[in-house]
Amino acid sequence: MKPETALQRGPNNPDPENPARRSLLVGSAGAMAAVSLLGFTPLARTEEPKSLPDYAAWKERNALIVHSANTMETRRGAIGNGVITPSDRLFIRNNLPAPPASVTEDPDIWEVRIEGVKNPRTLTVGDLKKMGVTTVASVLQCSGNDRAFFPHGASGTQWSVGAAGCIMWTGVPLKDVVEALGGPAEGARYITSTGGETLPDGLDPKTIIVERSVPTRAMQSALLAWEMNDKPLTHTHGGPLRMVVPGYYGVNNVKYVKNIAFTENQTDAKIQASGYRIRAVGVKGAPDQPSMWEMNVKSWVTAPLETARSGRNMIYGVAFGGTVALEKVDVSLDGGKTWKQARFLGPDLGPHAWRPFVMAAELPAGEHRIVSRATDTHGNSQPEGRIDNERGYGHNGWGDHGVTVTVS
Amino acid sequence: MKPETALQRGPNNPDPENPARRSLLVGSAGAMAAVSLLGFTPLARTEEPKSLPDYAAWKERNALIVHSANTMETRRGAIGNGVITPSDRLFIRNNLPAPPASVTEDPDIWEVRIEGVKNPRTLTVGDLKKMGVTTVASVLQCSGNDRAFFPHGASGTQWSVGAAGCIMWTGVPLKDVVEALGGPAEGARYITSTGGETLPDGLDPKTIIVERSVPTRAMQSALLAWEMNDKPLTHTHGGPLRMVVPGYYGVNNVKYVKNIAFTENQTDAKIQASGYRIRAVGVKGAPDQPSMWEMNVKSWVTAPLETARSGRNMIYGVAFGGTVALEKVDVSLDGGKTWKQARFLGPDLGPHAWRPFVMAAELPAGEHRIVSRATDTHGNSQPEGRIDNERGYGHNGWGDHGVTVTVS
């Protein structure tokens, strides 16, 4: 398989698996013209690494687009129609280099400090395993998934649609832990989780530490997870212990979590104070802007992607409601003029999981724009357009998520 | 990890992960005495192969007990508490050597002949993929799972509890295919599926071919599957196409299926006519004995298995109802004198799936016999004892399935 280049994943070609579009850009004068229009720095245009970094070597290489050693997404064609994303196809997005694999050698000795409760305490994973257990399916999605669709060239990893997956998490409900420690301290409005990465020397820790605050309402569904997809959580994905906040964007699911504090205010770490904030293009991040917490309703087609044979075809995709359960998905074969409700495929794994959908369709020869539009049980539907914002966060517009399929 | 021997998995030691019991047998005069009592042939007593056969090399070696190149089971301690069994931990039981891996290189060209319908036809997997799709979770379990518990030394692979797993299957509902072909021919009482293995020369095909008949009532839930756990079905587990009959014992889920016929009678292949028949010890198999079709209600504890620390412990296990949905699981910490209902863990994947269960328990120091007893929605509960039968099939007695845990 030919490695992709960062260029091929730019805004004009968010689907790196579309060779038709690729050929328009690569190895031609047009390529460089496109690059300069996009305003990428030269570093972003280097060749994609051919091999996976060591800590992710167990992943299915051909199912992934490797953006960098810290950022890999699932190819759109590898998302498939499964209720659960196989672990070796799940995207990776690390804000800092992962700790050594040795942290998961004896997961039960990993310690997490619980603060801002009546009786603060340091607990090992072994302790947590005796306090309670739950298994929850939820969508894990990077805030910047679909960033490549933004025409202003939002900075950050140029994700197509694959910085998302549906995962089965097992761990202790956070509320069980907090109840055992006497409940949250008075005035607590946020749950602030700190990652256990080793911070590079010579930099102000506040500018790089992974420390995220979510509102205390998240406690109803949050868990401290030690298993992913029915196996011990790998260090690749945050083992021995990860804060999981079902329905919330990926960054809030803090890996290698070493501290959880109930706090009156949000942390002033950069990743919270100015990072992961929705704001207009050109505006700097600030604490008064909306933080990337609850995910919105969303869907996208996963097959077919480029070409199909005329006649009966099965249109597949995935859809989810974020913190709200999914109600339905409609599919259009004519770019959104007419819609028909698709059928969900497989068991319902709960309100935070995604649901694969399928629709049989007769496709005549020609070019078809296939789009999907999900609606949650609160009546929220995906909008048609995108809401342009500086960092390209939270894009759930159905227009960009469609695929153009040539049927012959 | 030290390889197990076949000896260590004999009826007196069905749990090969119990080193306490192991030490009683291995390297002592008692070992040979035990062997002769069991009546095993010397061949069955050879060392377990250290490595996996090529076609299963992708499996998690440490999670498996390798009985032979065609038979591998999941260690009891690796079954865990997951709603789905990870593919690389799933047991393998092949009645014939697997076809070459090349059969799954282009799965869509694999052909299956459908006979005994109004309009018989040969269809490719590509054709089937356009006819319909469903995703179903179901337990896959060998008829002889738990054979090692039978004191008469039932012949066949000496499975402990690990010839079972819960799998997510994706494929076309068989009834969609049959409807498209005009429905079953008149008088059809069985669905007879034939495997596509290459048969060794010089033997009567009827004595070795994998060809199984199930009653037509199975059509309501049966599917022709091309995916397992949200990935293309490997040739290791029957890809490109496998007949899946949810709630039925493993042998009916014919791998590499190349022919499906609606028939008035059951096939006279040996595997159906005299194999997989429940009969008294010492009696030969015959067509008038019950065939291994619908599975019965069953459960077993998966943790703790041998030792635990005194105080609060989490008791884990798995339970399923076969073709009938599960109602509840009770757990006893005193060998069945008193019972308490356990809690199901994780989402309900449907009536044919297993459900992990968990119960928090205060365990004082001492030896504890922990047993579980499942009940289905028709009111069937696991019996205490085993029903002795020639080949050690269908064992769901809760007594043998318990574990003795030393708490200190």
Q: What is the pLDDT of residues A253-265, one digit of tens each?
A: 999 999 999 999 9
Residue A149, CB-side half-sphere exposure with 13 Å CA sphere: 22
Mean pLDDT of B92-105: 92
Positions of E strands within B321-387: 326-332, 340-341, 343-344, 355-363, 366-376
* pLDDT band with cut points at 50, 70 and 90 for residue B98: confident
B152-207 tens-digit pLDDT: 999 999 999 999 999 999 999 999 999 999 999 999 999 999 999 989 889 999 99
Q: Do A83 and B350 touch (CB under 8 A)?
A: no
Residues B315 and B261 in one domain: no
Contact B96, B208 (CB under 8 A): yes
A120-164 tens-digit pLDDT: 999 999 999 999 999 999 999 999 999 999 999 999 999 999 999
Residue that finishes a domain, picked among A273, A288, A315: A273
Residues B182 and B218 in one domain: yes
Positions of E strands within A264-408: 298-303, 307-308, 311-320, 326-332, 340-341, 343-344, 355-363, 366-376, 403-407
Residues B246 and B178 in one domain: yes
* pLDDT band with cut points at 50, 70 and 90 for residue B13: very low
| B215 in a structural domain | yes
Looking at this protein, which amino acid is placed at residue A2? K
Share of chain A above pLDDT 90, in %: 85
CA pair distance A373, A398, nearest whole angstrom: 6
Classify burial at A265, counting beta carbons within 10 Å of its beta carbon; exposed 0-12, middle 13-18, buried 19 or more. exposed
What phi and psi, each to the nearest 5 degrees, are found at residue A30?
-60, -30
Residues B138 and B7 in one domain: no
CA pair distance A135, A170, nearest whole angstrom: 4
Residue that finishes a domain, picked among B206, B240, B273: B273
Smallest CA–CA separation between B165 and chain A, in Å? 12
Which member of A230, A347, A356 has the closest CB to residue B82?
A230
Which member of B81, B230, B350 has the closest CB to residue A84?
B230
Q: Which domain holds residue B322?
A: 298-407
Smallest CA–CA separation between B84 and chain A, in Å? 7
Q: Which chain A residues are Cβ-neighbours of B80 within 8 angstroms?
A: 227, 230-231
Residues B306 and B379 in one domain: yes
Smallest CA–CA separation between A194 and chain B, in Å? 27
CB pairs under 8 A between A and B: 105
Q: Nearest CA to B69 among B39, B99, B96, B42?
A: B96
Q: Do A346 and B314 touch (CB under 8 A)?
A: no
CA pair distance B238, B254, nearest whole angstrom: 7
Q: Report the 10 Å Cβ neighbour count for B342.
A: 26
Contact A319, A298 (CB under 8 A): yes
Q: Which chain A residues are Cβ-neighbours of B349 within 8 angstroms?
A: 347, 349
Contact B253, B140 (CB under 8 A): yes
| A219 in a structural domain | yes
- State how beta strands B355-363 and A111-115 pair: unpaired
Residue A181, CB-side half-sphere exposure with 13 Å CA sphere: 24
3-state SS, residue A18: coil
Contact B87, B228 (CB under 8 A): yes
* pLDDT band with cut points at 50, 70 and 90 for residue B47: low
Residues A265 and A155 in one domain: yes
Which member of B230, B311, B350 has the closest CB to residue A82?
B230
Q: Over 50: is that where the pLDDT of A55 sits?
A: yes
| B324 in a structural domain | yes
Residue where the block lists tokens 């802007």: A289
CATH classification at residue B229: 3.90.420.10
Which member of B133, B230, B348 has the closest CB to residue A83?
B230
CA pair distance B384, B299, nearest whole angstrom: 12
Q: Which chain B residues are Cβ-neighbours of A129 within 8 angstroms?
A: 314
| A281 in a structural domain | no
| A304 in a structural domain | yes
Nearest CA in chain A to B138: A347
Q: Nearest CA to A320 among A350, A346, A341?
A: A350
| A96 in a structural domain | no
Q: Do B349 and A350 touch (CB under 8 A)?
A: no
Q: Do A230 and B85 touch (CB under 8 A)?
A: yes
Nearest CA in chain B to A79: B230
Smallest CA–CA separation between A297 and chain B, in Å? 21
Distance spanning both ends of chain A, measured CA to CA: 25
Q: Measure Cα distances from A43 to A68, A157, B255, B407 in Å.
A: 11, 12, 50, 59
Which member of B86, B231, B313 has the closest CB to residue A230?
B86
Q: Over 60: is that where the pLDDT of A69 sits?
A: yes
CATH classification at residue A351: 2.60.40.650
Q: Report the 10 Å Cβ neighbour count for B208.
A: 16
| B287 in a structural domain | no
Contact B11, B38 (CB under 8 A): yes
Residues A165 and A267 in one domain: yes
Q: Do A347 and B347 touch (CB under 8 A)?
A: yes
Nearest CA in chain B to A80: B230
pLDDT score of B34 = 35
A5-44 tens-digit pLDDT: 333 333 333 443 433 333 333 333 333 333 333 333 333 4
Residues A261 and A322 in one domain: no
Q: Over 70: is that where the pLDDT of B209 sits?
A: yes
Q: Which chain B residues are Cβ-neighbours of A86 within 8 angstroms?
A: 229-231
Which member of A85, A314, A348 has the closest CB to residue B129?
A314
| B77 in a structural domain | no
CA dihedral of A50, A54, A60, A66, whole degrees rounded to 10: -40
**Taken in order B45, B47, B52, B53, is the CA torsion positive or negative?**
negative
Residues B269 and B305 in one domain: no
Contact A139, A164 (CB under 8 A): yes
Q: Which chain A residues are Cβ-neighbours of B311 within 8 angstroms?
A: 130
Nearest CA in chain A to B344: A134
Residues B127 and B21 in one domain: no
Residues of B near A (Cβ–Cβ under 8 Å) read 80-86, 129-130, 132-137, 168, 170, 227, 229-231, 311-314, 345-350, 353, 356, 358, 360
Residues A318 and A364 in one domain: yes
**Number of domains into which chain B is organized:** 3
Residues A138 and A259 in one domain: yes
Q: Which chain A residues are Cβ-neighbours of B346 within 8 angstroms?
A: 134-137, 168, 170
Cis, peptide link before residue B42, omega less than 30° from 0: no
Instruction: Tell me: ipTM over 0.90.
Output: no
